[in-house]
Structure 1
Amino acid sequence: MAEPAVTFLLEKLSTLLAENVKLINDVKHEIQYMRDELETMTTFLRVADAAEDSNPQLKVWVKQVRDVAYEIEDIIHEFMLHLPNSNGCCPDFVHRLIFCLNNLNSHYEIAFQIQNIKSRIRTIEEGHERYHGIVNVPNQETVGEIDRRGDALLLEEDELVGIEHPKEEVVAWIVKGESKLKVVAVVGMGGLGKTVLVKKVFDDDVVKKHFQNHAWITVSQTFKVEELLKDTIHQLFDQVKIPVPHDIATMNRDKLKATIKDFLKQKRYLLVFDDVWSIEAWEAIKYVFPNEDQGSRVILTTRSMDVASSCSIETKGYVYQLNPLSEEESRILFCQKAFHGDSYPEHLSDICENILRRCGGLPLAIVAISRVLSTKKESNVNEWRMLINGLGSELEGNNQLESLKNILLLSFNYLPYYLKPCFMYLSCYPEDHLIEHNILVRQWIAEGFVKQKEGRTVEDVAQGYLNELVNRSLLRPVKTNDDGSVKISQIHDLYREIVLLKSQDQNFATTTVESNMVRVRRLSVHGALENSEVERCGARLCSLMSFHVEEPRSISSILNLIKSSKMLKVLDMTGIHLEKFPEVILELFHLKYLCLRNTGIKKLPGSIKKLQKLEMLDLKGTYITELPVGILKLLNLRQLLVYHHVLDSYMPYNYLLGFKALKGIGCLKSLQKLCVIEAYPGSHLLEEIATMTELRRISITKLTTKDCVALCSAITNLTKLSSLGARAVEGDVLDLQYLTSPPPFLQRLYLGGQLANFPHWIQSLRSLVKVYLRWSQLSDDPLQYLQDLPNLVHIEFLDAYIGEKLCFKAGKFQKLKLLGLDKLEALRSVIIEEGATPLLEKLIIQRCGLLERVPVGIERLANMKVLEFFDMPDEFISPLSPEKSGVEYWKVEHIPKVYHTYWRNGGWQVFSLDGALSHEESAKPGTAIVKTQGQRNWL
């Protein structure tokens, strides 16, 4: 993976040369030379990066290029340490400048180092000449793909587990339905069994009888259109015993396409294209399929949701997303292969369950690993344990797992250069870690992995990178936002093993769980760090992250490591117990991302202003309530998050505490996120916020009625705002009628405090997906103002309405999925008219003591998944109980999860409708719960 390192370096070199940086002529010429030489290598590297695993000599050359790129980057960073701060506000840097101007030592040192690098580049260039003529793009045979496909196509159906239902569904799609041509795309991560499933469909007797012509075409990553078309012609003609055209060898692309199209006219055909990697591949072949209402079908398999959607949407076809095996199916397959169908022995139970967890429902992994284990003695527990504990090294060195490694590597090797470092960065996270996308995006940006594109913010580009990884089935969504975007995801354990191997091999990143800490550029501390390990890490770290670090000795080691790591750009100390801000951080000139979330810090020093490059400052969950004036010197800040929640059984009015507004905060013009800032009389906060036009998200508390005019004026200026939180001082009225032009792209709205009237402008928010109204005490039914919003997904009312009736009108709230009603103390009835809220999945009702029965019409809501009641009276719950012959049980019996929950003995107890104490964990009231693949997600 040298190409990304070189590409990012070229951008830095170009920036360094373009900026008005004082360089002596020799240094400037040498930098130009390095840039030009590295630029000539990039095209070749694009091929070499993918081929290095199969060519040991080439791998050495790629490593040399990568290492020299890293060294040049380090030299640049070292050089920048000796330049004055761009704002000229730090005396430390002024002293450095004087030193440089008087002695020029730093420039001459740079020149000396560059001479050494130049010599190495010449040596590398000689290697380039040797390899340039012999390196080709790797074919499928190189990476083991043909062997894998052959194995998949030879599997017998009785060897497979969990395939019957998917097969029936896909067969139904292709033999039934309208006669127009349809494309069926089967999508999923590598190793899930897409090829196996489609082959069983292809060979099904019903399918064979239904279609006149069949062809199975294997598509490679580097397919040639002409060869693919010729393969299709041979299969179609051979099937009906017709000689292929004699001039097929000399046909051009258009003639080949015309031959296929002519052959298929007036016929009902089934064509399978296996392993389609790109939309371009589909574009190259899609016009050969005649659509003559014959009931023809095309099936393709792919790892990319983008490809699947693009191919199927044109014909209004189908997308079948193949999911991992369930726990039970995984267990059956594992025992089938490892123990010939018998259950695993009791003494191996824990080990086997751990193996299945690591396999994550991936059939290819289960089969491969179980076959290895079947050769080991069941009595040798240590041998079994060693395999699963050292799975990464086994993937690297065990021939029996070679095909598994290769199929997983295919997905990595085919990534575009800009996604490879982003994907490898996931190796920093612990096994099974829930990865927050907002955090990951900021880390990528701070590392320099994300290049801004015209018309898009760097955050938008990074979000696009994440979407690509999700669509390529390399990240599994765990929790989504209300707008459908992924909020939290996980990397499959086996893909994590692959990126760990790659990261360590290339000195890209490592963890303290691993052994390679020499010359590593990114370190992730998992649990503990010893001082001896710190000494091995060196001074070239650009990223340091910590997870579950508690011991004082490890915390001390981390601080020592920071002290010696002047090149850090990313520092995440989440959850580490710190009583005060570590002063060593202030020497990190290159630092862009600083996360001190959930630490014990109470105060920031004024010298925070030294961190001039800082873009992200995350102080969530700390005890900081005021910021020093020095924060105003951090003009590159894009996100400033300072708040913590007050924990209680129910949400108190002052549940969210932020930081006191400081005069002059309007100078931070680059801020996109500002949460949570507390207004106070005379602060002129709102006037300053009105000038911060880059804001996308802001949350303001302690507003007074007198602030409302200025608040509305400020919001009008914030045209890029997507999330707005505003809460009044308890007892004051939040009067928002003065807002005439709300932000056009507002998606999330959180209003706390008594509302004079329902804000009329909310009805114009066509992009709104979530609305929280808390303590609003409205007398009019708020639903009448929200019912025509086309994208509204999530509504929560807490003490927001003092009326007796809520009515969801027929045909309204077409996208609503989550609804929470809390402390509506006068509410007696909720009516859901026919055709309203058809997509509702989750409903929470709590502390509505006068509510007489469940919502009228709830029995019609076919998509309901969870219904939960918090602290509702027994006379409300009893009619729903099947054990007590409840007269209303029939209304909710179609809902999979129905609970009633009470606060007892300092905790929440959850009961099912039959009165049994449930083992399901309950959310804190005021939050919604969605059941996803066996895990609960709190929204």
Structure 2
Amino acid sequence: MFFDASCRKPITSVQKLFNLTFIIFSHRIRDNSVTFVKMAESAVTFVLEKLTVLLEEKVNLVKNVRQEVEYIRDELERMIAFIGVADAAEDDDPELKVWVKQVRDVAYDTEDIIDDFMLQFRLESEGFLRKLIFSIRNLRTRYKIAFGIQNIKSRIKDIAEGHSRYSYKFDAPGEVLSSQCVTTRGIDPQGDALLLEEAELVGIENPRRQIIRWLVEGESRLKVVSVVGMGGLGKTTLVKKVYDDFVVKKHFQNHAWIRVSQSFEVDELLKDTIQQLFEQMKRAPPQNLSTMDGNRLKAIIKDFLRGRRYVLVFDDVWSILTWEAIRHALPNENNGSRVILTTRVMDVAFSCSKETDGYVYELNPLSEEQSWILFCQKTFRGNQCPSHLIEICKNILKRCGGLPLAIVAISGVLSTKKEINVDEWKMLNCRLGSELEGNDKLECVKFILLLSFNNLPYYLKPCFLYLGNYPGDHEIEHNTLVRQWIGEGFVKQKVGRSVEEVAQGYLNELVNRSLLSPVTINDDGSIKTSRIHDFYWEIIVSKSRDQNFITSNNEQNMIWQRRVRRLSVHGSFRDSDVKCYGTRLCSFLAFNVEDPQSILNILHLLKRCRVLKVLDLRGVPLEKFPEAVLELFHLRYLSLRGTMIKRLPRSIKKLENLEMLDLKATYINELPIEILKLQYLRQLLVYRHVPGPYLPYDYVHGFKVFKGMGSFKFMQKLGYIDAYPGSVSLKEISMMNELRRVNITNLRTEDGVALCLCIEKLQKLCSLGLRSTEGDVLDLSHLSSPPLSLQRLYLTGRLANFPKWIQSLPSLVKVYLRWSQFREDPLEYLQDMPNLVHIEFLANYMGEKLCFKAGKFRNLKLLGLDKLETLRQVIIEEGAMPHLKKLIIQRCNLLEGVPEGIEHLSELKVLEFFDMPDEFVVPISPEKLGEDYWKIAHIPEVHHTYWRNGCWEVYPLDEKHATGNSEQPGAAIVRTQEQRNWM
């Protein structure tokens, strides 16, 4: 409520004030939406957008507070316009930086008051009696909100009085690079994300070959190879190409990539090494690893590596002490083992390598020619630079100093500029200025990266800063990141596209700007995981600290913010840390939190949070659903993936704003009916995979659908669903017409008609997984109008006939057919599909021959044939599958030889055989003088793989690429189940 300054009496209620605020703001937002979208700074814009959420409530207007509300509204509008221009210039102006911070703080505080009111309004609306009790008991809260509003108004007034001082900074056009750049690129979720192939890495081939020679040739004693150079030269990129090279992979029995850091801890470094080495061999690490001291950890590493040829990479070593801490854990048995170090410090490189009589490779900046090639590749997508821009680009490139990271960063900025607008290019050239003319190249790179950040459109800035939640070397899963962005409210739906599709477009745009580096690529070319470069991560941390955007408990010399907005916990979380954080958290992410005390501290902190929107407790060993979570009314994203929770409480209904619930890899298989109260749910993941070397028929456990679940009108991703009884489940599923992905299990033969009717109603489906009960038929014969948007199709179960409607799916990229037991050749129906890139057949065909005809399967890249127990012959005609990259054949025990015509597959990179009999392997083995070896001699990687001693052992067939010692030329390369995602 507001008070008269003279008599201190209330003049109106807080609720009525807010009601009026909502109405007034809503009209202005609608009237000025185009201007706001183009100019808005995220923090203030989110505050205005949040007000519209409550407009649906019927309220009474109170005219005597209109003046105060209009004043706040007008000043917030000015803030948006101000920050939209000032954001790009604040790094160069300390005074401006302070003003920007003040504006953001006011926006944050306004948002907090809105959230408090939303919570209060919700509680007061829950029945007359509760409303009365709550009003009496929470009068103090009402007063607090009222005074908060008065304080906001006062602070806004102070900032507004300085508006003339803000604006003079921007009177001269062109002085500040605009941050209003809005691009439409990258909207397609399978968009044109720029991926760095080996051919695009300018100047890397010669150093790569040299380092590989040092690794596989020369003396047999243990040697250290150091790669040294300033930040941004591409040391990690170079070493990663060496590490992933097939010659290197086959030469060494054990491999590990250990990320160091400037603030590394010896014990953690040793534990990381142990974890990687044991995981590679599919062995469980020693028990009580977390409590072992350094000497014990070193002994474990030495015992593990004894008798093995290994290569270990220690990336980003900052001091000689790092090498001193690990060298005694590495056995030297004169078997050709190697260690690779990357460092920015020359003394570290020479000292570590000198001790072992090793090698130092000093990475130099690119030459002018190499720089220009890289610049054009990244800026103009490999095309020539337009003649009218050559001089400007040459000047920009000269100031990059041959640093690949600097070139890639500035190219990411330039690639978004219109080539016809020379003034924009000139402005950027002038902006680089003196910062690139000094001797401190590292600062130059930092400046260029900051420039790359400042040129991001307003909608990408919070998304980019959000990456600071993740550890610096973390592999970021795109699906998870997208859900978190949406939960935070960073992504706004656009006409004709779902909010998930828009978010995927944001990711593509960050990759296109070289702000994210792809790590794992899906079959269709979309990106599955990415990492962020060190320099960008450092910038994010710095920016986040300045803007009070994210706080992490692993930051060194952390000065705690007055109010923490987003908290990322890495490892342990001390009781003292809990006291450092206020109650205004809107995001909480946990990484590698395992010890009981840290878990208790996290739960204690959650009890104090009232406005949390994103909560990710993935992998935290919780056994019960945290009761504190049930009070998080504003929560939109909740992940308990990988926890040990067995039951979802009925009080889950209190989280009525929840949009994404991730219970994957938990022990939950039933949901309470109260979950129907969560009407905003968009994604519901409840399933657990059955571990094992081969997927069993019932490889996944889901949850049962009950009557009423069809009321989820916003549901887009749902899995896995136990369809029994089918008539109820399928009817409910068919009502969720916004579904993009669904997986249904335990279908029966008699469910065929209902199943087909259900699928026909889900015309927005992109991914469909169906599995019948073992022994029942998966009846799809009644389906006449399948969703034409289907890209991925997974069918498990006996099929009476091949579903011919599959041929009508123009967008189909991947098809898995498991346990189908066809009598007819399925290739006939798939061979002409234009976009098919991935096929897996598992026990699906009962014939003796498969023939891939000439000119067919034009875009197929991966083919897997598994457990085709009657198959004797595979024929590949010349011209079939011209772009096949990987072929996997397993458990086809009657197959008489490698596919006839396999020599025609010129682009085939990997050929792998799983659990195939010796009679099959011998004819293609060079060491056995196999008569058919010539057919596969052109394929770079050929393996035969067996499940032995609890792990997959991969043996190369080609003697010249054999790993291990002479007595064991085919020592195992171990694969995990995730690496075999084609299954």
| Same structural fold, with TM-score higher than 0.5 when normalized by the shorter chain | yes
Instruction: Pick from 468, 479, 487 the counterpart of residue 528 of structure 2.
Output: 487
Structure 2 residue identity aligned to 1:781 = D
Instruction: Pick from 820, 825, 850 the counterpart of residue 781 of structure 1.
Output: 825
Secondary structure, aligned partner of 2:458:
coil
1:14·1:35 contact (CA, 8 Å) conserved in 2? no
- Tell me what 2:130 maps to: 95
What is the alpha-carbon distance in structure 2 between the residues aligned to residue 66 and residue 194 of structure 1?
41
Instruction: Pick from 731, 736, 748 the counterpart of residue 780 of structure 2.
Output: 736
Q: CA deviation at 1:219?
A: 5.6
> Which residues of structure 2 form unaligned runs of 5+?
1-38, 180-200, 208-230, 235-364, 376-383, 397-409, 430-435, 963-968
Structure 1 residue identity aligned to 2:520 = K
What is the alpha-carbon distance in structure 2 between the residues aligned to residue 838 and residue 912 of structure 1?
24
What is the alpha-carbon distance in structure 1 between the residues aligned to residue 413 and residue 593 of structure 2?
44
Secondary structure, aligned partner of 2:421:
helix
Structure 2 residue identity aligned to 1:410 = L
Structure 1 stretch 683-692 or stretch 807-816: which is displaced more? 683-692
- Tell me what 1:118 maps to: 153
Instruction: Pick from 163, 184, 199 the counterpart of residue 203 of structure 2.
Output: 163
Shift in alpha-carbon separation, 1:14–1:869, aligned structure 2, 3 A: same
Correspondence 1:601 to 2:738:
no
What is the alpha-carbon distance in structure 2 between the residues aligned to residue 61 and residue 34 of structure 1?
17
1:649·1:925 contact (CA, 8 Å) conserved in 2? no
- Tell me what 2:104 maps to: 66
- Tell me what 1:218 maps to: 392
- Tell me what 1:589 maps to: 633
Q: CA deviation at 1:579?
A: 1.1
Structure 1 residue identity aligned to 2:922 = S
Instruction: Pick from 765, 787, 803 the counterpart of residue 847 of structure 2.
Output: 803
Correspondence 1:282 to 2:282:
no
Shift in alpha-carbon separation, 1:872–1:919, aligned structure 2, 3 A: closer
Q: What whole-Å deviation, never above 9, does each CA across 1:641-664 have from its counterpart, x for those lacking one?
A: 000000112111111110122222
Shift in alpha-carbon separation, 1:463–1:221, aligned structure 2, 3 A: farther
1:65·1:124 contact (CA, 8 Å) conserved in 2? yes
Instruction: Pick from 447, 464, 471 the counterpart of residue 488 of structure 2.
Output: 447
- Tell me what 1:462 maps to: 503
What is the alpha-carbon distance in structure 1 between the residues aligned to residue 716 and residue 881 of structure 2?
34
Q: What whole-Å deviation, never above 9, does each CA across 1:432-452 have from its counterpart, x for those lacking one?
A: 211111111111111111122
Q: CA deviation at 1:195?
A: 9.1
- Tell me what 2:184 maps to: none
Correspondence 1:500 to 2:674:
no
Q: CA deviation at 1:410?
A: 1.3
Q: CA deviation at 1:724?
A: 0.6
1:542·1:570 contact (CA, 8 Å) conserved in 2? yes
Shift in alpha-carbon separation, 1:652–1:200, aligned structure 2, 3 A: closer
Q: What whole-Å deviation, never above 9, does each CA across 1:714-740 have from its counterpart, x for those lacking one?
A: 000000011111100000011101000
1:650·1:926 contact (CA, 8 Å) conserved in 2? no
Structure 2 residue identity aligned to 1:8 = F
Following superposition of structure 1 onto structure 2, how do residues 850-869 of structure 1 map, counting pairs within 5 Å? Answer: 850-869=894-913
Instruction: Pick from 920, 923, 930 the counterpart of residue 973 of structure 2.
Output: 920
Shift in alpha-carbon separation, 1:530–1:29, aligned structure 2, 3 A: farther
Structure 1 stretch 131-140 or stretch 793-802: which is displaced more? 131-140
1:674·1:699 contact (CA, 8 Å) conserved in 2? yes
- Tell me what 1:310 maps to: none
What is the alpha-carbon distance in structure 1 between the residues aligned to residue 772 and residue 178 of structure 2?
65
- Tell me what 2:93 maps to: 55
Following superposition of structure 1 onto structure 2, how do residues 691-770 of structure 1 map, counting pairs within 5 Å? Answer: 691-770=735-814
Give me the TM-score of the superposition, normalised by structure 1.
0.73
Structure 1 residue identity aligned to 2:725 = P
Secondary structure, aligned partner of 1:821:
strand
Tell me how many residue pairs correspond in the alignment. Answer: 730
1:82·1:96 contact (CA, 8 Å) conserved in 2? no
Identity of aligned residues (%): 60
Following superposition of structure 1 onto structure 2, how do residues 608-687 of structure 1 map, counting pairs within 5 Å? Answer: 608-681=652-725, 684-687=728-731
Structure 1 stretch 7-16 or stretch 401-410: which is displaced more? 7-16
Correspondence 1:889 to 2:933:
yes
What is the alpha-carbon distance in structure 1 between the residues aligned to residue 816 and residue 601 of structure 2?
44
1:191·1:407 contact (CA, 8 Å) conserved in 2? no
2:740·2:766 contact (CA, 8 Å) conserved in 1? yes
2:637·2:659 contact (CA, 8 Å) conserved in 1? yes
Q: CA deviation at 1:691?
A: 1.2
Secondary structure, aligned partner of 1:566:
coil
What is the alpha-carbon distance in structure 2 between the residues aligned to residue 627 and residue 221 of structure 1?
63
Q: CA deviation at 1:682?
A: 6.6
What is the alpha-carbon distance in structure 1 between the residues aligned to residue 63 and residue 579 of structure 2?
37
What is the alpha-carbon distance in structure 1 between the residues aligned to residue 71 and residue 981 of structure 2?
59
What is the alpha-carbon distance in structure 1 between the residues aligned to residue 66 and residue 206 of structure 2?
62
What is the alpha-carbon distance in structure 1 between the residues aligned to residue 418 and residue 924 of structure 2?
55
Following superposition of structure 1 onto structure 2, how do residues 373-522 of structure 1 map, counting pairs within 5 Å? Answer: 401-514=442-555, 515-518=558-561, 519-522=563-566
What is the alpha-carbon distance in structure 1 between the residues aligned to residue 178 and residue 545 of structure 2?
23
Following superposition of structure 1 onto structure 2, how do residues 318-337 of structure 1 map, counting pairs within 5 Å? Answer: none
1:687·1:714 contact (CA, 8 Å) conserved in 2? yes
Q: CA deviation at 1:121?
A: 0.9
Q: CA deviation at 1:112?
A: 2.2
Shift in alpha-carbon separation, 1:452–1:872, aligned structure 2, 3 A: same
Structure 2 residue identity aligned to 1:411 = S
Q: CA deviation at 1:95?
A: 2.2
What is the alpha-carbon distance in structure 1 between the residues aligned to residue 574 and residue 620 of structure 2?
15
- Tell me what 1:565 maps to: 609
Shift in alpha-carbon separation, 1:838–1:213, aligned structure 2, 3 A: closer
What is the alpha-carbon distance in structure 2 between the residues aligned to residue 786 and residue 604 of structure 1?
43
> CA RMSD for the aligned pairs?
3.5
Q: CA deviation at 1:861?
A: 1.5
What is the alpha-carbon distance in structure 2 between the residues aligned to residue 94 and residue 863 of structure 1?
73
Structure 1 residue identity aligned to 2:46 = F
Instruction: Pick from 815, 824, 849 the counterpart of residue 859 of structure 2.
Output: 815
Shift in alpha-carbon separation, 1:710–1:275, aligned structure 2, 3 A: closer
Structure 2 residue identity aligned to 1:484 = G
Structure 2 residue identity aligned to 1:905 = N
Shift in alpha-carbon separation, 1:60–1:215, aligned structure 2, 3 A: closer
- Tell me what 1:577 maps to: 621
Correspondence 1:10 to 2:63:
no
1:568·1:591 contact (CA, 8 Å) conserved in 2? yes
2:943·2:954 contact (CA, 8 Å) conserved in 1? yes
What is the alpha-carbon distance in structure 2 between the residues aligned to residue 908 and residue 465 of structure 1?
38
Structure 1 stretch 873-882 or stretch 632-641: which is displaced more? 873-882
Correspondence 1:130 to 2:165:
yes
Q: CA deviation at 1:461?
A: 1.4
Secondary structure, aligned partner of 2:742:
strand
Q: What whole-Å deviation, never above 9, does each CA across 1:147-186 have from its counterpart, x for those lacking one?
A: xxxxxxxxxxxxxx9638799xxxxxxxxxxxxxxxxxxx
Structure 1 residue identity aligned to 2:420 = E
Secondary structure, aligned partner of 1:281:
coil
Q: What whole-Å deviation, never above 9, does each CA across 1:737-774 have from its counterpart, x for those lacking one?
A: 10000001011111111001001111101110010011
Correspondence 1:899 to 2:943:
yes
1:26·1:111 contact (CA, 8 Å) conserved in 2? no
Shift in alpha-carbon separation, 1:213–1:822, aligned structure 2, 3 A: closer
- Tell me what 2:567 maps to: 523
Shift in alpha-carbon separation, 1:797–1:274, aligned structure 2, 3 A: closer
Shift in alpha-carbon separation, 1:104–1:884, aligned structure 2, 3 A: same
> Which residues of structure 1 form unaligned runs of 5+?
144-160, 168-188, 204-209, 223-272, 287-298, 304-366, 373-398, 930-938
Following superposition of structure 1 onto structure 2, how do residues 525-540 of structure 1 map, counting pairs within 5 Å? Answer: 525-540=569-584
Secondary structure, aligned partner of 1:218:
helix
